[in-house]
Amino acid sequence: MEPIYFDHAATTPPRPEVVEAMLTYYREHWGNPSSLHWSGRAAREAMDRGREQVAALLGALPEEIVFTGSGTEADNQALIGISIAHEKKGDHIVTSTIEHHAILHTAQFLEKRGIKVTYLPVDSSGMVDPDAVRKAITDKTILVSIMHANNEIGSLQPVRDIGTICREREVLFHTDAVQTVGHLPINVREMNADLLSLSAHKLYGPKGVGALFVRKGVRVSPLIHGGGHERGRRSSTENVPGIVGLGEAARLAAEDMEWELQHNSGLRDRLIEGLLDRVPDSMLTGHPTQRLPNNASFCIRYIEGESMLLNLDFEGIAVSSGSACTSGSLEASHVLLAIGLAHDVAHGSLRISVGRGNTVEEVDRFLEVFPPIVEKLRSMSPISAAQSADDWPGTEHAHGSEQHEH
């Protein structure tokens, strides 16, 4: 049996065109883009093209794109860079409880250094209320950071409304759009975004390269100091092949977006309907309609996400689970706790994220293989339906939901 890859939210396979484009900048044009001679010029031209391609995908200007080493770095750059550059204006940041750790752990780092952070709650489908953003803003607020789409449950936030509120209140708005760039149409002007993070490996590009859109005129302090690359915003000799790969991935994404949207959402809906139909005591997590076109995420009651993952892996099917067994202690996903699920329910999480290479046949094979796995695990499970006292789908609220760093 051919293996099946259903974990595109974790990373996507680089497209052959991307790898091909990158190789040229390892084999031939390996110059330093800061060099003035022929070798440097070829690298510089490639980098300029990559910047234009990324800008075009976002409706931004090329000079508004700052290349970074990852999506994580772009998120750090946004939060820390704005906090430092705007410390005279204020010391308050607004974000949500369901952000990626690249935002949450950076916010916690800033809190230890005197920045005040408001973590807005979400409703049971993982949505931030724009009105809550409005109410959270004070005259000390310097930044609102709300993700475009959640990487675990796929919920799409009303970023446009949030951006409009921020613009009215003259507060900067950042969005972590790592899960949506290249997959959904994005225009930073329509969104009223001042800063936006993206990562190449989530859109069929290479790992270790990302970008931060910084609207023209917005001041941001660099995290990495040195030779003044990226207009002084991110020093380091540029990752030219990575930038070429990101640019090519951005170009291809724009070309194929409509097709990919239809393709992915078709597979997603087949997965959701098929799984809920075949597996009793299972629920969809995230918003029923306002969700990523490729995300099908569930909680399967009475079993652990990790056992499902390992059993599926044994069948050659790669999926993900929100709960990760780290250093011996089973930790429930902060996102699933934030949408109000009880710990034991959250532990049964399963995330399937499809991509351009997946087929209907693969979805059907999953739907055939998965129910017997659930049955087997349930028959071995110490927490059977009979023993479990709390209400489905988990009205009991998170106990001890503090975050552990690891």
Ligand X SMILES: *Cc1c(COP(=O)(O)O)cnc(C)c1O
Of 95, 131, 87, 380, residue with least CA distance to 220 = 87
Q: How many helices (H) and strands (E) does the chain have?
A: 12, 14
x/- mask, ligand X, residues 183-202, rule CB under 6 A, reads: ----------------x-xx
325 catalytically annotated: yes
Contact 296, 287 (CB under 8 A): no
The minimum distance between CB 181 and ligand X, in angstroms, equals: 10
Q: Which is nearer to ligand X, 295 or 311 (CB)?
A: 295
Selected from 14, 31, 33, 71, the binder of ligand X by CB under 6 A is: 71
Residue 38 has phi, psi (to 5 degrees) of -55, -40
Q: Under rule CB under 6 A, which residues in 17-36 are in contact with ligand X? A: none
Give just the sign of the alpha carbon dihedral 397, 400, 403, 406. negative
Rounded Cα distance between 295 and 95, Å, is 23
Rounded Cα distance between 215 and 60, Å, is 8
Q: How far is CA 62 from CA 47, 88, 116, 182, in A?
A: 11, 29, 33, 17
Q: Which is nearer to ligand X, 153 or 165 (CB)?
A: 153
Decide: helix, strand or coil at residue 119. strand
> Which window, 163-171, 176-184, 232-240, 398-406, contacts ligand X (CB under 6 A)?
176-184
Q: How many residues does the chain have?
A: 406
Q: Which is nearer to ligand X, 53 or 151 (CB)?
A: 151
Q: Residue 393: is the preceding peptide bond cis (ω within 30°)?
A: yes
* Token pair of 317 as six digits: 């099917």
Of 301, 291, 406, residue with least CA distance to 352 = 291
Q: Where are the alpha helices (DSSP H) in 279-359?
A: 305-314, 334-338, 343-346
Q: Which is nearer to ligand X, 97 or 199 (CB)?
A: 199
Told to check if 179 binds ligand X by CB under 6 A, we report: yes
Q: Which is nearer to ligand X, 201 or 291 (CB)?
A: 201
x/- mask, ligand X, residues 30-69, rule CB under 6 A, reads: ----------------------------------------
Told to check if 294 binds ligand X by CB under 6 A, we report: no
Selected from 145, 151, 295, 323, the binder of ligand X by CB under 6 A is: 151
Of 405, 403, 231, residue with least CA distance to 334 = 403
* Token pair of 246 as six digits: 């990101």
Contact 257, 185 (CB under 8 A): yes
The minimum distance between CB 100 and ligand X, in angstroms, equals: 4
Selected from 12, 53, 70, 97, the binder of ligand X by CB under 6 A is: 70
Contact 352, 297 (CB under 8 A): yes
35, 219, 259, 325: which is the annotated catalytic residue? 325
Selected from 205, 210, 245, 348, the binder of ligand X by CB under 6 A is: 210
Told to check if 122 binds ligand X by CB under 6 A, we report: no
Selected from 100, 251, 263, 334, the binder of ligand X by CB under 6 A is: 100
Told to check if 176 binds ligand X by CB under 6 A, we report: yes
The minimum distance between CB 147 and ligand X, in angstroms, equals: 6
x/- mask, ligand X, residues 232-271, rule CB under 6 A, reads: ----------------------------------------
* Token pair of 394 as six digits: 């988990």
Q: Where are the alpha helices (DSSP H) in 211-239?
A: none
Told to check if 180 binds ligand X by CB under 6 A, we report: no
The minimum distance between CB 286 and ligand X, in angstroms, equals: 13
Q: Which is nearer to ligand X, 44 or 100 (CB)?
A: 100
Q: 3-state secondary structure string, 17-52?
A: HHHHHHHHHHHCCCCCCCCCCHHHHHHHHHHHHHHH
Told to check if 178 binds ligand X by CB under 6 A, we report: yes
Active site residues: 325
- Interface contacts to ligand X, rule CB under 6 A: 70-72, 75, 100, 102, 147, 151, 176, 178-179, 199, 201-202, 210
